[in-house]
Amino acid sequence: MNFNLGKRLIVLGLTQLLWLGGCNNGPGENPTFPATSPTASSGAASAESGEPSPGFNLVAPDGSTVEFNPKENPDNEVFLLLFWSYRFDPNVKTLLSRAGELHERYSPRGLNIIGVAYGEEPSGLRKFLAANPVPFNVAVGADSTYEKFALTSIPTAVLVDENGRIVERWSGYFTTEELAEKISPKLPGRSGNSEE
């Protein structure tokens, strides 16, 4: 086990104990996410606004592959990467509902949402999604993914433009309209749903 992973597991364990002890965060607060070092993963792209986005190749809860390759985007899609957890976030259903609204509104205009579930087992995630279906792709996250995107909290959303560059990132909760204001201008001028 590498040192950074060990630190992350210790912090995660302590955080989980606090939550189990009744110290849940409210919708406006972020749960603690294990800190990562910018140098933790060799060759990882910077995950700051304006920089090229890292990619990933992850497994979906059903065992299929969820690939995000921002360098190969023939359909000129804009991506919203949503890092979340159903076990560590008591308000995750609200988050996923809002992301589902964004998907319904903007997927006809080229928005592709990928939900990356943090620290989840595929079987538990399948059960959660069966009871709480979402209209977008979901993948089981990997430590290297969190390091590449320099995540410090969940939930975190990362917007990647059609050229594969990170446009913005948000930590914590957002209203549908807050993200809609940021996403809509980045979408190519396609027909489809508007701001309704």
**What is the average pLDDT value for the chain, to the nearest integer?**
78
What pLDDT, in 10s, does the model give residues 8-24?
433 443 333 333 333 33
Q: What pTM value is reported for the model?
A: 0.74
DSSP state of 24: -
Phi, psi of 76 (to 5 degrees): 50, 45
Q: Where are the domains of the chain?
A: 3-186
Over residues 148-168, mean pLDDT: 94
Report pLDDT for 184. 93
CATH homologous superfamily of 3-186 equals: Glutaredoxin (3.40.30.10)
Report pLDDT for 136. 98
Over residues 135-150, mean pLDDT: 94
**pLDDT greater than 60 at residue 183:** yes
CB 58 within 8 A of CB 140: yes
Beta-bridge partner residues of 81: 114, 158
> Which of 29-43, 76-90, 122-136 is least confident?
29-43
Q: What is the C-alpha to C-alpha distance for residues 65 and 68, in angstroms, rounded to an integer? A: 10
**pLDDT greater than 60 at residue 35:** no
Q: What is the C-alpha to C-alpha distance for residues 193 and 106, in angstroms, rounded to an integer? A: 6
**pLDDT greater than 50 at residue 7:** no
What is the percent of the chain where pLDDT is above 70? 71
* Interior angle at CA 41, CA 57 and CA 116, nearest 5: 35
**pLDDT greater than 90 at residue 163:** yes
Over residues 155-176, mean pLDDT: 93
Give the residue carrying structure tokens 């592709």: 112
**pLDDT greater than 70 at residue 36:** no
